[in-house]
Amino acid sequence: MQYTATYQSPIGRITMASDGQNLSGLWFDGQKYFADTLSTEHEFKDLPVFEQTKRWLDLYFQGNVPDFTPSLYLKSSPFRLAVWDILKQIPYGKIITYGEIADLIAKKQGVKTMSAQAVGGAVGHNPISIIIPCHRVIGSNGSLTGYAGGLDKKISLLTIEKVDVRKFFIPKKGTAL
């Protein structure tokens, strides 16, 4: 059985999902791939992991760096899990490009190159937004592209982390606008 709860953030309502013990989803309501990993049968319920996640989100939205991470459960392909593992390592207030992640994955897999577009697909399907910080990924040309929650939310999250978003640009055409 899966369970859900909601959190009202300063930039929009968030839906959380759990297997009963671990956080398995965290989406801005209405975002691209919303509730992608959530089964059709789920129950709204207060759980300790949701209370922990709400505490984490409260700290984050107050501009603090949470010193803990709720227990996470991720299920996907080995490639996506590898990309999400890299996302988890991006420090608060720092950014990385899709190309840099592709290079890291290529090295780990012992191959010469990896597609930045394939990385983008994995980043876009990250089921635990904010905590697994896919908003910290930008295009190699400085483009603020590709956030499933929408570029307005990506900019807000980076601003909370004191990233100077003025040095980046919003593409005229791109993904997850």
Q: How far apart are the first and last CA of the chain?
A: 33
Please write down the HEC assignment for all residues of the chain: CEEEEEEEECCEEEEEEECCCCEEEEEECCCCCCCCCCCCCEEECCCHHHHHHHHHHHHHHCCCCCCCCCCECCCCCHHHHHHHHHHHCCCCCCCEEHHHHHHHHHHHHCCCCCCHHHHHHHHHCCCECCCCCHHHEECCCCECCCCCCCHHHHHHHHHHCCCCHHHCECCCCCCCC
* Token pair of 170 as six digits: 């919003």
Catalytic residue among 134, 148, 151, 163: 134
CA distance 24 to 18: 5
In the residue annotation, 134 being an active-site residue is answered as: yes
Tell me the catalytic residues: 134
